[in-house]
Amino acid sequence: MDPILAPGDFYGQKHRHFKIAGATFTEMVYFPAFKIPRHSHEGAFFGLVLEGAYTETYERRNRECKPATFLFHPEGEVHSETHYDVVVRIFNVEPASLFLDPVRKRSYLLDQPLAFEGGPELPLTLRLYHEFRDPDALTPIAMEGLLLELLATTCRGSIGARDPKPPRWLRQVRDLLQEKFTAPPSLQDMARIVGFKNLSHPEIGERR
């Protein structure tokens, strides 16, 4: 079974790390030619590549990551990395459910992997990084506002950048129906299994 990492835990060398404004912020450094095995994370997180380059494998697909690549990893996404012969630095942002739950009630886009090259997400994440690197008494307020804006901007901008496939919950339903095609579960049972409490939400149901 692939390892599942807790919030704040990443492979590599932790250069700087703290929790603030209901989120965990971590800057990771990786030696040249570093390899990260298959794993997943308990919570969703953003990653901004600050330096270096690598190939990431996720959901049987590959993507090239280089400086200014902005990534979103949904919770439970299994991925691995093969770094090139360069030092790699990544700034990771792990929002708590306090931030994610209100967004997920309005959009399912944060249930799937996303990747951006440039766009409005980049300056927002860089502003978060600068607050992270040079904090002062007002940093918690500034970072909380920036994080909320980043979540909203990511959802708005991900229409064109998201993977051309259904959201994760819909893929789970498909796999479930294929596995139990001789005795398919009820609609309510499927909603419960994939994480919806009921069927009232505009995107099928209200997420847990």
Worst-scoring range by mean pLDDT, 27-31, 98-102, 178-182? Answer: 178-182
Residue of higher predicted confidence among 154 and 89: 89
pLDDT value of residue 201: 45
The 10 Å Cβ neighbour count of residue 160 is 7
Residue 141 structure tokens: 């307020």
How far is 151 from 200, CA to CA, in rounded Å?
A: 23
Q: Parse the chain into domains and list their residue ranges.
A: 4-161, 166-208
* Structural class in CATH, domain 4-161: mainly beta
How far is 105 from 71, CA to CA, in rounded Å?
A: 21
pLDDT value of residue 194: 66
Any alpha helices (H) in 121-202, and if so which ranges? 121-133, 139-161, 168-179, 187-194
pLDDT per residue over 43-92, tens digit each? Answer: 999 999 999 999 999 988 999 999 999 999 999 999 999 999 999 999 99
How far is 36 from 33, CA to CA, in rounded Å?
A: 10
Percent of the chain with pLDDT over 70: 76
Task: Collect all residues with Cβ–Cβ distance below 8 Å to 26 and sequence separation of at least 6.
Answer: 8, 10, 14, 16, 17, 91, 92, 94
Candidates 30, 66, 25, 64; CA nearest to 49 is 66
Phi, psi angles (nearest 5°) of residue 148: -60, -40
Residue 3 has pLDDT above 70, yes or no: yes
pLDDT value of residue 26: 95
166 burial via Cβ count (<10 Å: 0-12, 13-18, 19+): middle
Bridge-based pairing state of the strands 23-30 and 35-41: unpaired
Mean per-residue pLDDT of the chain = 83
pLDDT value of residue 168: 65
Residue 52: what residue type?
G
32 burial via Cβ count (<10 Å: 0-12, 13-18, 19+): exposed
